[in-house]
Amino acid sequence: MSNFPTPELRPQNPNFSSGPCAKRPGWSLDRLSTDTLGRSHRSKIGKTRLAEAIDLTREVLQVPADYRIGIVPASDTGAVEMAMWSLLGERGVDMVAWESFGAGWVTDAVKQLKIADTRKIEAAYGELPDLASIDFDRDVVFTWNGTTSGVRVPNADFIPTDRQGLTICDATSAAFAQKLDFAKLDVVTFSWQKVLGGEGGHGVLILSPRAVARLESYQPTWPLPKIFRMTKGGKLIEGIFKGETINTPSMLCVEDYVDALKWAKSLGGLDALVARADANAKVIFDFVAETPWIANLAKVDETRSNTSVCLTIADPDVTALSDDEQAAFAKGIVTALDKQGVAYDIGAYRDAPAGLRIWCGATVETSDLEALMPWLDWAFQAEKATLKAAA
């Protein structure tokens, strides 16, 4: 690496992880309120702050007034599991997947819940499955934005308004960066540690009136763990959606989430957040367009994520290598950038094709991505020289 001069500019913030993601610009721990620390989440101040987090979520994310919003345990995973275990089984289900987390929900439906009438609609990394083949008279579980593939649905036009089944949408790397059409979505889940750069461990579960009606009219055949139970006596436990959480949340994490939501609101809300993510992703897309050795994993432009941008090494000398050798080459780039302190945690997800994954959510500054691009080229050229020297 020492034979190649390093670029002059460095990102001010080298945190490009896809979760937990970079904190908002200007963040510091002493900016957080400490009034709730050491207090019960069931105290007046605790419940007030949790309710504030819910209200700000509704405002910034533009959630309809008749949709319930709850803070739940175990991040986005917990929120999706709550929805699947509580709502599925009333009818057949179409499980739609094109990356690792979506594939995980397929496994839950088939092997854990053992729903006999399950159809799998899948596609390889970099592609969307045939959305026209989905039967919306059945329940449907899908991921809006594939965090590990960089492939998203371009919009909700494929979902009919007169559907009979429920749509359960894992939106964890889409919420606050992409416009979600709530009229087409019955369950939406996400985690704090993605687009708003919050802390891990907490999820958000959003339910449409149709989802609430299912909860109150249907009882699954399998037992429900306590942290999944959202009804009592056939009625929704409304307190969950007013800040009375099922289990004890971290009030420090709640304060951090409220801080991020207020920051988002100060920018101009959802439109501003989407614009920031779009501008960030464009920096990478422009670099890819003019750089022969790198390519987008997402094969169709309109399905490219503006948050979890996934890239592959397209250089012919590298693509001629075995899968393990390609993975080692990509890891060499990641390691070099890490050692230089210019980009942390940008390796492709372990189950995805070898390459890079760079987070472009709203808390990342566009100037940092602009500074990073020459470093990508530097690391590639140096790693390529090492490859040639070993040949």
Q: Tens of pLDDT along 305-362?
A: 999 999 999 999 999 999 999 999 999 999 999 999 999 999 999 999 999 999 999 9
User: Cβ neighbours of residue 92 under 8 Å, at least 6 residues apart?
Assistant: 115, 117, 118, 119, 135, 138, 139
Q: Give me the CATH topology for the region 29-266.
A: Aspartate Aminotransferase; domain 2 (3.40.640)
Where do the CATH 3.90.1150.10 domains begin and end in the chain?
269-390
Mind listing the pLDDT tens digit for each residue in 197-231?
999 999 999 999 999 999 999 999 999 999 999 99
* Residue 30: per-residue pLDDT: 96
Q: Give me the CATH topology for the region 269-390.
A: Aspartate Aminotransferase, domain 1 (3.90.1150)
* Residue 391: per-residue pLDDT: 82
Omega prior to 154 cis, within 30 of 0: no
Provide the token pair at 13.
Answer: 């913030």
Mean pLDDT of the chain: 97
CA distances to 80, 95, 182 from 24, rounded to whole Å, are 26, 34, 26
pLDDT band of residue 1 (cuts 50, 70, 90) is very low
Query: Do residues 74 and 201 lie in contact, with contact meaning Cβ atoms separated by under 8 Å?
Result: yes
Which of 250, 262, 270 is closest to 71 using CA atoms?
250
Which of 359, 368, 380, 378 is closest to 14 using CA atoms?
368
* Residue 3: per-residue pLDDT: 74
pTM value > 0.85: yes
- pLDDT of 259 > 80? The answer is yes
Neighbours of 248 (CB within 10 A): 11
Mean pLDDT value across residues 46-51: 98
Cα 259 to Cα 178: distance, rounded to the nearest angstrom: 20
Vertex 100, ends 240 and 188: CA angle to 5°? 25
Mind listing the pLDDT tens digit for each residue in 106-162?
999 999 999 999 999 999 999 999 999 999 999 999 999 999 999 999 999 999 999
Cα 296 to Cα 163: distance, rounded to the nearest angstrom: 34
Which of 243, 213, 307, 280 is closest to 57 using CA atoms?
243
Mean pLDDT value across residues 295-311: 98
